[in-house]
Chains A and B, each alone.
Chain A
Amino acid sequence: MTIDAAAFAPSIPAISIARPTKRGATGLNKSVGHLVMAVLAIFCLFPVYWMIVTSLRPANEVFDTSLWPTAASLDNYVYALNAIPIIEMLGNTLLVSAVVTVVQLFTGLLAAYAFARWRFPFDKLTYTLIALTWLVPFQVVMIPNYLLVADLGLLDSLAALILPHFAAALAILMLAQAMRSFPREVLEAARMDGAKSWRILWEVIAPNLRGTIASLTILIFISTWNEYFWPLLLSRTPENSVIQIGIQMFMTSEGTQWGPLMAASTMASLPILLLYVGLQRQVIQSFMKSGIR
């Protein structure tokens, strides 16, 4: 029984995306196709566009519906930056995301290597148990996790945001799969040269898994950056929170300050959007390789 998203990846022939079209479609058909895609594209992009446009409107024009502000202003950004410690929160988010990414890759490489290199008692069972964690909804384990963090005295700390993410099934499974297709002769050759298992992992295998590691880096970083639920349980003070919690602070029951809210949302999305603009192909491929999460 295969449980993990990564295991399905081969059945999604996602990697070869750009197929050159040999035969041009008939004119009418093609323009309807364009129309369909254009509608979908507008539906997908308009909310993001509207967020940025609203964030740039001066305070007295927030309710305006023109597609571009008459006079773009950064007032909302100044307001948002003064209202909550956004820079600090962005720094926290960056720190948490970076640490989680590095640690998860590290533990993932180690665990995947164990499965690829050795046969040992209960190896299949352990692998299955790791894969099954992917199916445990976070809401099911949140209370014991919360209590553990409280017992450790780590409520309202960045460490608690990182700890549960020390290892994740996705990284382990994707790396294990990549290692399985690693040529055995190379491993054997390294072993004959007397290389210790530790050196083989870091000097022979890891450098050859650059593609998978890059994909995972993108995936882990983005999903940690966007995480909301776990920080929501733990955060008490803005200084120890991540940016996702900061956004929420502009939505109060007394009413919402739309301008600053959109400015904060834009600032929270900007790093990821810039990453996407820079590495668009790699980002899309990473997500498609891993299934949906």
Chain B
Amino acid sequence: MSEAALSTHGGTVRRRRMDNWRVTPWLYLAPAVLTLAIWIYWPLIDASRLSFYEWNMLPTTPQTYVGWQNYINIFALPKFWQALWNTGIYIIGLLPIAVLIPLAIAIYTHDLPARARNFYRAIIFVPMIIAPVVAAAVWRWLLDPGHGMVNEAITLFGFRPVRFLQDPKIAIWTIIVITGWKLIGFSTLILSAANANINPSLVEAARMDGASKWEIVRDIRLPLLRSTVLFLVLMTILLGAQWSFAYIHVLTGGGPLGATTNIFYILWDFGFSSLSVGWSSAAAVILFLGFGVVAFVLFRLMDRYSFHDN
């Protein structure tokens, strides 16, 4: 109605209104768009540029153009391949803790009374809000080879103390479990909620038809939980290795012998330990492109296979 009233006033008013309409949304968007442009998109471009230079981050030293040399060097570096391999191990190791075990628990405990479930829910969520540094400090204390609670318990049973963070074979699994500790309760909550949302009459109908417990889980619950499970898998693959950064940094520094380093940690290592901007930037570009491809494929899969029941 206001539009109609305006149009009778002729062209100028309408034109001004049109211009106004064109500018106003951008005024509202400006703070957010500027922030993201300055702190995310411009840095992405700058990192790509820096990946072709050699520089040690000191303002006084010049940036030397080296072409593809940084990339060639990184691909020739065993440490890089180790980090890449470890990134895969982090993701594969996290999947059972962040998805499979919570899924089993959610399905298994779905018929606990509401009161009990609320009680457990309140407890298992706690790790999610604990700061990663605090979690790292506490686990370092629990796993201390000399006096840590866990090793005290192990020796009590007559075994030799385990060097959780010092043994190159064990350290990465320790970090994975600590990362998983942060997530397991939360994943369980998400899956429990999804599971509780399944229409009970579906389960009831199947039971009437003589379906066994396992058949109900396999043919009704799992298919209906598929989109939630896919979502958690996707998050774990995309973010799993990132979540472990704080623990790696505080607990092992990537060691022993690079056993716990991953692609995110190596970026930090190149950049702020070795002060090699070019290497870090080249690794960042590789990571970003790889990350983008993985994300694209996963979102495609997610679109195709997720199941919407309502």
A167 to B31, CA, bound (A): 7
Given A139-B284, A147-B57, A292-B186, do A51 and B271 touch, yes or no (CB 8 Å)? no
Shortest CB–CB separation between residue A261 and chain B, in angstroms? 6
Q: Which residues of B contact A18 (CB under 8 A)?
A: 114, 117-118
Residue interface bits B248-273, CB-to-A below 8 A is 1, else 0: 01100000000000001001100110
The yes or no answer to A47 lying at the interface (CB within 8 A) is: yes
Question: Is there contact, CB below 8 Å, between A111 and B29?
Answer: yes
User: Assuming the A-B contacts A40-B105, A47-B139, are A139 and B35 also in contact, with contact meaning beta carbons closer than 8 angstroms in the complex?
Assistant: no
B28 in contact with A136 (CB, 8 Å): no
Say whether B245 faces chain A, with CB atoms less than 8 Å apart.
yes
B22 at the interface (CB under 8 A from A): yes
Determine if B306 and A262 form an interchain contact, defined as CB atoms under 8 angstroms apart.
no
Interface status of B220 (Cβ within 8 A of chain A): no
Q: Which residues of B contact A20 (CB under 8 A)?
A: 114
Q: B133 to A248, Cβ gap below 8 A?
A: yes
Given known contacts A16-B193, A141-B43, A118 and B21 CB-to-CB distance under 8 angstroms: yes
Q: How far is the CA of A272 from the CA of B292 in the complex (A)?
A: 34
- With beta carbons under 8 angstroms apart, the residue of B2, B139, B193, B306 that contacts A14 is B193
Chain A facing B: main interface SS: helix
Q: How far is A272 from B132 in the complex, measured between Cα atoms in Å?
A: 13
A91 on the interface (CB 8 Å rule)?
Answer: no
Given contacts A33-B112, A40-B105, contact A135 B129 (CB under 8 A): no
CA gap between A142 and B232 in the complex, in Å: 27
- Whether A50 pairs with B142 at a CB distance below 8 angstroms is yes
Whether A36 pairs with B108 at a CB distance below 8 angstroms is: yes
Mask of B1-40 contacts with A, CB within 8 angstroms, 1/0: 1100000000000000000011011101101110110111
Q: Indicate if B170 sits at the interface (CB-CB under 8 A).
A: no
Binds A, one of B44-52, B88-96, B157-165: B44-52
B62-106 interface code vs A (CB 8 A; 1 in, 0 out): 000000000000000000000000000000000000000000010
- B228 beta carbon closer than 8 Å to chain A: yes
| Residues in chain B near residue A202, CB distance under 8 A | none
**A80 interface residue (CB < 8 Å to B):** no
List of A residues within 8 angstroms of B217 by Cβ: none
- The answer for the CA separation of A197 and B23 in the assembled complex, in Å, is 13
**Contact B118–A114 (Cβ < 8 Å):** no
Q: How far is the CA of A225 from the CA of B190 in the complex (A)?
A: 23
- B228-A11 in contact (CB<8A): yes
State A43–B152 Cα separation when bound (angstroms).
17
User: Known interface pairs A44-B181, A120-B26. Does A287 touch B186 (Cβ–Cβ under 8 Å)?
Assistant: yes
- B188 adjacent to A40 (CB under 8 Å): yes
Q: How many A-B residue pairs lie within 8 Å, measured between CB atoms?
A: 315
A284 interface residue per 8 A CB criterion: yes
**Cβ–Cβ < 8 Å partners of B228 in chain A:** 11-12
By the criterion CB–CB under 8 Å, are B242 and A137 in contact? yes
How long is the Cα–Cα vector from A107 to B108 in the complex, in angstroms?
43
Contact check: which of B32, B281, B306, B308 meets A107 at CB < 8 Å? Answer: B32
Q: Is the CB of A288 within 8 A of B181?
A: no
Q: Are B116 and A37 in contact (CB under 8 A)?
A: yes
In the complex, whether B130 has a CB less than 8 A from a CB of chain A is yes
Does any Cβ of B come within 8 Å of A191's Cβ?
yes
In whole angstroms, how far apart are the Cα atoms of A65 and B194 in the complex? 40
Q: CB within 8 Å of B: which residues of A?
A: 1-3, 5, 8, 11-25, 29-30, 32-34, 36-38, 40-41, 43-45, 47-48, 50-51, 54, 62-63, 65, 106-108, 110-111, 113-115, 117-118, 120-121, 123, 126, 129-130, 133, 135-145, 147-148, 150, 163-164, 166-167, 169, 172, 191-192, 197, 222, 225-226, 228-229, 232-233, 244, 247-248, 250-251, 256, 258, 261-262, 265, 268-269, 272-273, 276, 280, 283-284, 287-288, 291-293
Q: B128: nearest residue on chain A (CB-CB)?
A: A287
In the complex, what distance in Å separates the CA atom of A284 from the CA atom of B117? 14
Q: What residues on B are CB-neighbors of A136 within 8 Å?
A: 40, 44, 288
**What are 25 A-B pairs with beta-carbon distances under 8 A?**
A5-B235, A18-B118, A30-B112, A34-B116, A36-B108, A37-B116, A43-B181, A44-B123, A44-B126, A45-B124, A47-B142, A113-B28, A123-B25, A126-B29, A139-B284, A145-B39, A150-B59, A164-B39, A166-B31, A192-B2, A226-B133, A228-B133, A276-B129, A288-B193, A291-B231
A12 to B193, CA, bound (A): 8
A265 touches B123 (CB 8 A): no
A110-B29, A192-B2 known; A268-B131 Cβ under 8 A: yes
CB distance from A70 to the nearest CB of B (A): 17
CB pair B231–A8 under 8 Å, yes or no, is yes
Q: A126 touching B194 by the CB < 8 A rule?
A: no
B238 at the interface (CB under 8 A from A): yes
* Contact between chains at A36 and B109 (CB < 8 Å): yes
Instruction: Knowing A2-B299, A40-B105, A44-B184 are in contact, say whether A143-B281 is a contact too (CB < 8 A).
Output: yes
- CB-nearest residue of chain A relative to B288? A140
Chain A residues positioned under 8 Å from B268 (CB to CB) = 139, 142
Contact assessment for A107 and B267 in the assembled complex, using a CB-CB cutoff below 8 Å: no
Contacts of B33 in A (CB 8 A): 111, 126, 130, 167
